[in-house]
Amino acid sequence: MKRRARGALATAAAVGLALVWAVTLRPQALGGPALETVVRGDSMEPTYVTGDLVVVRAEPGYAVGDIVAYRVPDGELGAGRVVLHRIVGGDGINGFVVQGDNNPAPDPWMPRTGDIAGRAWFAVAGLGRVIAFLHQPMAAAAFGAAIAVTLVLARGSRRRTELVDAPPPIEPSDGPAVASAGGALPSV
């Protein structure tokens, strides 16, 4: 009974975590509100440094002082690239003036509200390095292989446990007579 209760509790916790993820952290590529971006370069120092993971969330509006991630507009050099900088002027209709905290001048692009992926919500120092490493093909393959080996070993361990815990095999007893190899059963 305790095992069943623990299983139900674990299932409920997993479903709860999945719902929280779906509502708050689901990536924009999957229709969610969040975009995870890894900081590269020193333009946002000291606020963010290379290797930080910054999660941004889409908002209905943005204002001067907000740190936003925006996509470089189509037709511009670097089109589609995500830039994480602070809004220092402008507006969402005519375009925001954005600038890195460590940059001497504003960016050459003036993103409109539709170009902005979201406002910085939270950051995890250094986690971006791990994610960038795992996105490399060889690292991803090694990580996948490690998971597969772990699952195979765990399954083998479970089977050994089941064999050890299994009841002993039933051995023949000195009960009723049985037929021998060529003989017949005795009649009664």
pLDDT tens for each residue of 70-118: 988 778 888 888 899 999 999 999 999 999 999 999 999 998 898 899 9
* Domain spanning 28-125: CATH superfamily: Umud Fragment, subunit A (2.10.109.10)
CB-based burial label for 49 (10 Å; 0-12, 13-18, 19+): middle
Query: Which residue ranges make up each domain of the chain?
Result: 28-125, 133-164
Q: Which of 59, 24, 69, 48 is nearest to 124 (CA)?
A: 48
| Angstrom distances, CA of residue 118 to CA of 28, 61, 177, 185 | 10, 9, 83, 86
Which residue has better confidence, 79 or 64?
Answer: 64
Tokens of 126: 């250094």
With a cut of 90, say whether residue 67 has pLDDT above it.
yes
What is the bridge-based pairing of β-strands 53-57 and 34-38?
A: antiparallel
* Structural contact between residues 102 and 45, judged by C-beta atoms closer than 8 angstroms: yes
With a cut of 90, say whether residue 178 has pLDDT above it.
no
Average pLDDT of the residues in 152-175: 63
